[in-house]
Amino acid sequence: MKKYLITILVLLSMLVIQVGTVAAAPAASGVVTLISVEYVPKKGPVFTFSVSGNFSKSDLKGSLHVEGGADYDLHCTQVDESTVKCNASQKVAGINVSVTWGGSTFWAYVPEAPPPAQYCYNVYDYDLDYVWQSYGTHCQDTPAQYGDQIPWYNPDWDDSYDAIFLPEGPSCSGIVEDAYYYPYICGL
């Protein structure tokens, strides 16, 4: 009988140790809903969650599993009482993922990075009859600043030159728009 009593006490104490360990594990207290997944240029994928309840700093960590096997960390910030935003590696763009955060797992598609914005401007010069006209469009990734220069080839003159970005063309051109212009001073 003594053996049974000792065995029962040992098993009971092991059970208490296991239950005590589980009860001590941190758990997020609240409800979490994935609201959106977007790709923010120069920042990467952003997951937006609607939350209710309190989330400690340690609760603001998560993980992301990519379809195909790779795992990434999820870095989260509580924006306000009801919103948490999380960032992940740019490597997960264009892929199906499972996101584990706040005690829940969500499945989502992460959009690809958008193409860089293009800023396009006309390039003006005069032709062989000295009539101003557009010789094409120059596109670039950043907005032009007055005074910027670009190399440009004019097929009428069979020559290259630096066109200058200005708010309007020379007075004799009659053109009033932000564009690149051949640096010509009227009357000279």
| pLDDT at res. 66 | 92
Structural domains of the chain sorted by starting position, each given as residue range(s) with its CATH number in brackets: 29-110 (2.60.40.10), 119-181 (no CATH)
* Distance in angstroms (rounded) separating the CA atoms of residues 109 and 59: 23
| d(C-alpha 95, C-alpha 85), whole Å | 19
- The Cβ of residue 76 has, within 10 Å, a number of other Cβ atoms equal to 21
Instruction: Provide CB contacts within 8 A for 76, sequence distance 6+.
Output: 49, 60, 61, 62, 84, 85, 86, 87, 101
Q: What pLDDT score does 103 carry?
A: 83
Judge contact between 52 and 35, C-beta under 8 A: no
Structure tokens given for 144: 């032009």
**pLDDT score at 118:** 85
Report d(CA 148, CA 68) in Å as an integer.
Answer: 46
Report pLDDT for 48: 95
CA distance 147 to 125: 16
Give the pLDDT of the chain (188 residues) as one tens digit per residue.
555 545 554 444 444 344 332 332 334 557 889 999 999 888 899 999 999 877 788 888 889 999 888 899 999 989 888 999 999 999 999 999 999 988 889 999 999 988 877 899 999 998 888 888 999 999 988 899 999 999 999 888 888 899 999 998 888 888 999 999 998 766 54
Q: Where are the alpha helices (DSSP H) in the chain?
A: 2-24
